[in-house]
Amino acid sequence: MRDTTIVQQATPTSPTIDELLTAGDTSAVRAQFADAHPADIADILERLTLAKRPLAWNYIPETVKGEVLAELTEGVFKNLAHELDKQELIDAIKVLDIDDIADLIPDMPEALLADVLFAVDVETRNNLGEVLSYPEDSAGGLMNFDATVVRDNVSLDVVLHYLRLKTELPDNTDTIYLVDREKRLKGILPINTLLTQPGHHLAIDHAIESPVSFRCLDSEQDVAKAFADYNLITAPVVDESGRLLGRITIDDVVDVIREQAEHDIMAAAGLREEEDIFAPVARTSRRRTIWLAVNLVTALLGSWVIGLFEGSIQQLVALAVLMPIVASMGGNAGTQTLTVVIRGMSVGTISSENFYNVLQKETLVGMLNGVIWATVIALIASLWYQDLQLGLVIAAAMTANLFMGAVAGVFIPILLEKVNIDPALAGGVALTTVTDVVGYFSVLGLATVILL
């Protein structure tokens, strides 16, 4: 049961933890941490630079250190775990829920992992083994083992009596799971029926007999979509013969939803989600290198196209001035289509079923926009260089590139998905490569043929 206080928002005049640490006012730091929620302490740690975090760690109450670790983003946990005393980490981690320990494991230093597995009790170790046997991003990886389970042939009074014997129920217990002798799930009983229905009724008569349930290998995306669509608080995980294995709770699903969003946003810039903003400079630079390398190769491809027409540029230098506009507009219009298609695929609105309808609509939009902006750029170029023919060439190139941008915006994510490359990661680079090459080539090629 949660009964912690939210940490008070620092008023503009009150010093931050960072300032208190700098000033060495450790008792003030201790006091602020004393009744703060672990999630808020984790937020504070993340905002501190690398050097200050182990310092702040010392003033966190022992009882919540584990939960603070569980609330840290992966990158920050990883960096902090290397700085702290091993035994202290083990003591903090071993009391956590199984799914929380499982979440930390991939980011633990190897030496720590073995000791943590040794420190937990046998049941936890076995359950951990089960959770870890499933992919991190599967229903099995999200599963917890704290479901409240009763036999399917009992009355509501018996269930009530059983619950009274426990003095506390696990967090997020909105349902009781009814199973038969073989542990097969027969139904889920909303806990509220225990309060509103007569006690002599059979539990099964008030249960939902075909609840939304998951299999261990279901993807966490599907789990998240189902929780959101069907407004679930908890849901059972069952095996192929319908036996209850565990349950998934909304708090973990909310984390999944947030991480997915984070992933899509960060991936578009070639970044990882869950990265520590204060990771060491050399490591950050190394992480971003691949992305910049890929970008250099695509940029060189564009330059190579320009290089083919050096002679034309020398004859008509206006081409060098105007060609970036065509490339850029194609890239922007194409990115709009690309974004719509990637999101549509990711939330399920776009599939092979309506692919041609989407292609048709987006190319029509591309052509319409192409004509509009071609007219505008024709005017601008004609006036700038007092050359109507130049304006018309740029306009034709613009139309072609906006059309290509739309086509590429639809096809690129679909092709990337086919070859198992994350469209959120590679889609943008692939698209701007296409619109740069087509943009430069159409401006310079058309000009060479028509104007020179």
Which of 11, 13, 27, 49 contacts its own copies by CB under 8 A?
49
Sign of the torsion formed by the C-alpha atoms of 419, 294, 75 and 3? negative
Q: By CB under 8 A, is residue 205 in contact with its own copies?
A: no
**Mask 60-89, x = binds its own copies (CB under 8 A)?**
-----------x------------------
Judged by beta carbon, residue 89 or residue 431, the one nearer its own copies is 431
Residues 291-320 that bind its own copies (CB under 8 A): 291-292, 295-296, 298-300, 302-303, 306-307, 310, 313-314, 317-318, 320
Contact predicate 431/408, CB 8 Å:
yes
Which of 54, 61, 242, 344 contacts its own copies by CB under 8 A?
344
Judged by beta carbon, residue 183 or residue 361, the one nearer its own copies is 361
Residues 252-291 that bind its own copies (CB under 8 A): 253-255, 257-258, 260-262, 264-266, 268-271, 275, 277-278, 281-282, 284-285, 288-289, 291
Place of tokens 């296409």: 434
Per DSSP, the chain holds a count of helices (H) and strands (E) of 21, 6
Minimal distance in Å, beta carbon 144 to its own copies?
13
Q: By CB under 8 A, is residue 361 in contact with its own copies?
A: yes
Judged by beta carbon, residue 129 or residue 307, the one nearer its own copies is 307
By CB under 8 A, which span of 26-34, 54-62, 102-110, 341-349 interacts with its own copies? 341-349
Which stretches does DSSP call E strand in 99-201? 149-151, 175-179, 185-190
Token duo for residue 408:
């590429």
Token duo for residue 416:
């990337």
- The CB density around residue 62, as the number of other CB atoms within 10 Å, is 9
Q: By CB under 8 A, is residue 5 in contact with its own copies?
A: yes
Judged by beta carbon, residue 90 or residue 380, the one nearer its own copies is 380
Minimal distance in Å, beta carbon 311 to its own copies?
8
Place of tokens 């690129």: 412
Judged by beta carbon, residue 114 or residue 296, the one nearer its own copies is 296
Residues 109-168 that bind its own copies (CB under 8 A): 160, 163-164, 166-168
Which of 55, 150, 250, 415 contacts its own copies by CB under 8 A?
250
Which of 124, 339, 401, 448 contacts its own copies by CB under 8 A?
339
Judged by beta carbon, residue 107 or residue 436, the one nearer its own copies is 436
Q: By CB under 8 A, is residue 372 in contact with its own copies?
A: yes
Q: Which helix (H) or strand (E) holds 56?
A: helix 52-57
Contact predicate 326/391, CB 8 Å:
no
Which of 32, 369, 435, 442 contacts its own copies by CB under 8 A?
369
Which of 80, 120, 147, 325 contacts its own copies by CB under 8 A?
325
Q: How far is the C-alpha of 177 from the C-alpha of 169, rounded, in Å?
A: 13
Token duo for residue 107:
């980011």
Judged by beta carbon, residue 246 or residue 331, the one nearer its own copies is 331
Residues 210-239 that bind its own copies (CB under 8 A): 210, 212, 226-231, 233
Contact predicate 134/216, CB 8 Å:
yes
Q: How far is the C-alpha of 403 from the C-alpha of 121, rounded, in Å?
A: 62
Helices (H), 348-387: 355-385
Minimal distance in Å, beta carbon 306 to its own copies?
5
Q: Which residues contact 154 (CB under 8 A, 6 or more apart)?
A: 202, 203
DSSP string, 257-318: HHHHHHHHHHHTTT--TT--TTS-HHHHHHHHHHHHHHHHHHHHHHHHHHHHTHHHHHH-TH
383 burial via Cβ count (<10 Å: 0-12, 13-18, 19+):
exposed
